[in-house]
Amino acid sequence: MPDSFATHLLSITTGRTETVTDLTGDCEQFLARVAHGRDGLLNIFVPHATAGVAILETGAGSDDDLLAALQTLLPADDRWRHRHGSPGHGRDHVLPALVPPHATLPVIGGRLELGTWQSVCLVDTNRDNANRQVRLSFFG
């Protein structure tokens, strides 16, 4: 049983374009406030049916490559049965099957344990909803 549980809700504005938003700094700030040097787990959860959480390199083109791959796999056209919203919006509802709405990461000594080039990212292809929430929860 964990000694500690803390949670925090981030409000993120992604805009009206498909985006990969780096949340690593937000995760680190949250852990600095609540982990107090303890080991544990950080859970990142997006309570939306059209967004996901990915662990990937950012800033060197991988984030753009991910969006391009998602456009290839999930084209924004009229093939989707889910048809409300902007044209092709049904694809956004399939996204969480490929980019899950959650990730759980190790925290060692109060710090997020990521690889050298890894970042925690919100992936949002839904141009109809620019306001997102991300729940950070620490168990330690």
Q: Dump pLDDT digits (tens) for 78-117.
A: 898 887 878 888 999 999 999 999 999 999 999 999 999 9
Report the amino acid identity of residue 73.
L
Percent of the chain scoring above 70 in pLDDT: 98
Which residues fall within 8 angstroms of residue 37, CB to CB, at 6 or more apart? 109, 110
Which residue did the predictor score with more confidence, 104 or 16?
Answer: 104
Domain positions in the chain are: 5-139
DSSP labels, 32-94: HHHTTT--EEEEEE---TTEEEEEE--SSSHHHHHHHHHHHHS-SSTT-S---SSTTTHHHHH
C-alpha angle 62-99-117 in degrees, rounded to nearest 5: 35
**DSSP 8-state class, residue 33:** H
pTM of the full structure:
0.93
Mean pLDDT of 110-135: 95
Angstrom distance (rounded) from CA 46 to CA 52: 6
The CATH superfamily label for domain 5-139 reads YjbQ-like (2.60.120.460)
Percent of the chain scoring above 90 in pLDDT: 82
